[in-house]
């Protein structure tokens, strides 16, 4: 979960108006959150990529039920509109939970057709606890430092070590942020979004969210339906699986994507020389994993770290050439340097990753109930592992702090909604991070929404990534609010973008998203990160 963040100006706006507490399954009155508020004050903070970028910050209550109590700070970014036709603010969110949205504003503004982007103030924001917002959470720096215990608890000692890690992380969060954790959740983040709306001086907002950002947007629409002008959701969380069930469903989908990578490698045996039988190639991968469990590469890449390197390939096939080269270097040349380089460039968790994970767990563990009996986790994840071993236990330990979380859970929000204008939804059929059924479910719950499907696509976050068919529907909707209408589950179908080609025959050098020339797809891939 490596996240990028733009530098923020120290401009603060205090929201001193009354903000009513809202039950998670209710909407608010149009008059809520409108009294005695100040508009955001923007300052230039342009970058080479986004020279017109502006920055501000806004203060909101930690507890929206007590608007005069402790205040926290949200960091904002903006690419202002330039056209005479102005369609209002377009809030964008990259998901997570825990993803920084500051750089997403510049990406969206530069990736949309110029005449479309020019009609919006594209607004990025770091949700509470994230990045440049304050306080920014970091429960236990170095939680992911290598070498971690093997993710597969094949012995009681390994299981005990992993449980201890998860429990220690939850306890660290409780000690460090006892006063904050009860208010790090989706509903509070949604109330923050409406505070941002007020600070922008807008009666309504437009919203564009990826991944977890789709749930965030759907909850906003549920709580503030009268405030929604246009709503775009890309790669949808199943809102009925929040959050334990959704993570288990991910495991099956990621196993399929890992097998798809093996099939792709088999297709290019002339480059990677790992064979032409995907099952035999997969057996070589698991043999590599077993060897690294005994002797980590460079004292850094063990079995768990190897999984960390390859999990991004389930999110986006743009990583496949790098992963295949790394795999081939180890198997064919006994080269461990490539693994270490891939880990450092793709999987290593830096300070922003520590922050992102702290917010991820804080939101997910607070949003909904998780099993508190570790025996239930053990039973469920061994059952998954038997059918889909690739990510089952790695994902279990990633979420395991929720079994020991120090705050009581809330109830998930029922996002079913019949009060919205036309909504545009995007989903790939083979997306592993947010499996296809979640998009179908979201489409069913948001009455009158329109679902655009990328047939055969397996990437996570599919618009503004080079698929002209998908982007055509997005641009049309943002221009005039029109959505496609079909007779089946999907209202429109686009063919998937082509799979990548091998980068070359070299196996000792690892080209990564960080060193390869930037493209729209690779830039978005970096912003969205992993696990979100």
**Closest Cα partner for 461 from 434, 437, 484?**
434
Query: Quick check: is 121 catalytic?
Result: no
Question: Considering 460, 465, 497, 522, which one is annotated as catalytic?
Answer: 460
On the CB side of 152, CA atoms within 13 Å amount to 18
**Closest Cα partner for 289 from 270, 308, 304, 272?**
304
| Torsion-angle region of 387 (φ positive above 0: left; ψ -120 to 50: alpha; else: beta) | alpha
Q: Are strands 54-61 and 71-79 parallel, antiparallel or unpaired?
A: antiparallel
Query: Quick check: is 211 catalytic?
Result: yes
Question: Considering 431, 443, 449, 450, which one is annotated as catalytic?
Answer: 431
Considering Cα of 518, then 398, then 238, then 480, what sign does the dihedral take? negative
Q: What six digits make up the tokens of 19?
A: 């903000």
Q: What six digits make up the tokens of 181?
A: 């954790």
Give the E-state strand segments of 168-239 in sequence order.
Answer: 205-210, 228-234
Question: Considering 133, 195, 211, 497, which one is annotated as catalytic?
Answer: 211
Burial class from Cβ neighbours inside 10 Å (0-12, 13-18, 19+) for residue 441 reads middle
Query: Quick check: is 194 catalytic?
Result: no
Angle formed at CA 236 by CA 420 and CA 233, multiple of 5 degrees? 45
**Closest Cα partner for 220 from 207, 237, 234, 238?**
207
Q: What six digits make up the tokens of 389?
A: 């071993």
On the CB side of 47, CA atoms within 13 Å amount to 18
- Name the phi and psi angles at 134, rounded to 5: -130, 135
Active site residues: 211, 431, 460
């Amino acid at each position: 979960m490596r996240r990028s963040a733009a530098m923020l100006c120290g401009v603060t706006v205090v929201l001193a108006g009354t903000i009513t507490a809202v039950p998670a399954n209710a909407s608010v009155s149009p008059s809520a959150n409108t009294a005695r508020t100040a508009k955001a004050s923007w300052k230039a903070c342009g970058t080479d990529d986004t020279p017109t970028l502006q920055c501000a910050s806004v203060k909101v209550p930690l507890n929206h039920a007590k608007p005069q109590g402790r205040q926290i700070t949200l960091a904002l970014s903006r690419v202002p509109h330039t056209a005479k036709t102005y369609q209002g603010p377009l809030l964008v969110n990259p998901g997570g939970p825990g993803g920084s949205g500051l750089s997403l504003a510049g990406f969206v503004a530069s990736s949309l057709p110029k005449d479309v982007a020019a009609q919006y103030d594209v607004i990025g924001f770091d949700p509470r606890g994230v990045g440049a917002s304050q306080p920014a959470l970091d429960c236990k720096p170095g939680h992911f430092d290598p070498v971690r215990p093997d993710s597969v608890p094949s012995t009681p000692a390994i299981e005990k070590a992993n449980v201890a890690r998860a429990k220690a992380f939850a306890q660290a969060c409780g000690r460090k942020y006892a006063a904050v954790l009860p208010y790090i959740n989706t509903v509070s983040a949604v109330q923050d979004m409406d505070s941002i709306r007020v600070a922008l001086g807008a009666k309504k907002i437009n919203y564009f969210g990826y991944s977890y950002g789709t749930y965030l947007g759907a909850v906003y629409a549920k709580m503030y339906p009268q405030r929604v002008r246009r709503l775009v959701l890309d790669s949808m969380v199943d809102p009925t699986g929040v959050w334990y069930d959704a993570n288990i469903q991910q495991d099956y989908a990621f196993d399929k994507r890992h097998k798809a990578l093996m099939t792709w490698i088999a297709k290019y045996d002339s480059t990677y020389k790992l064979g032409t039988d995907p099952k035999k190639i997969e057996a070589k991968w698991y043999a590599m994993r077993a060897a690294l469990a005994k002797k980590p590469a460079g004292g850094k890449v063990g079995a768990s770290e190897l999984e960390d390197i390859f999990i991004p390939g389930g999110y986006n096939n743009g990583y496949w050439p790098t992963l295949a080269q790394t795999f081939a270097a180890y198997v064919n040349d006994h080269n461990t340097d490539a693994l270490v380089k891939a880990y450092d460039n793709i999987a290593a968790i830096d300070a922003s990753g520590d922050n992102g994970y702290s917010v991820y767990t804080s939101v997910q563990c607070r949003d909904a109930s998780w099993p508190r009996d570790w025996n239930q986790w053990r039973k469920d994840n061994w059952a998954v592992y038997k059918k889909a071993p690739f990510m089952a236990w790695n994902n279990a330990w990633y979420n395991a702090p929720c079994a020991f979380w120090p705050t009581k859970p809330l109830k998930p929000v029922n996002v079913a909604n019949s009060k919205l204008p036309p909504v545009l939804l995007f989903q790939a059929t083979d997306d592993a991070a947010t499996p296809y059924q979640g998009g179908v479910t979201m489409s069913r719950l948001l009455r009158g929404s329109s679902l655009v499907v990328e047939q055969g696509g397996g990437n996570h976050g599919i618009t503004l990534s080079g698929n002209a068919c998908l982007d055509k529907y997005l641009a049309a909707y943002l221009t005039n609010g029109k959505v496609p209408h079909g007779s089946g589950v999907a209202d429109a179908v686009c063919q998937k973008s082509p799979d990548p080609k091998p980068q070359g025959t070299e196996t000792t050098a690892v080209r990564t998203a960080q060193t390869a020339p930037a493209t729209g797809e690779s830039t978005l891939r970096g912003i969205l990160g992993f696990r979100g």
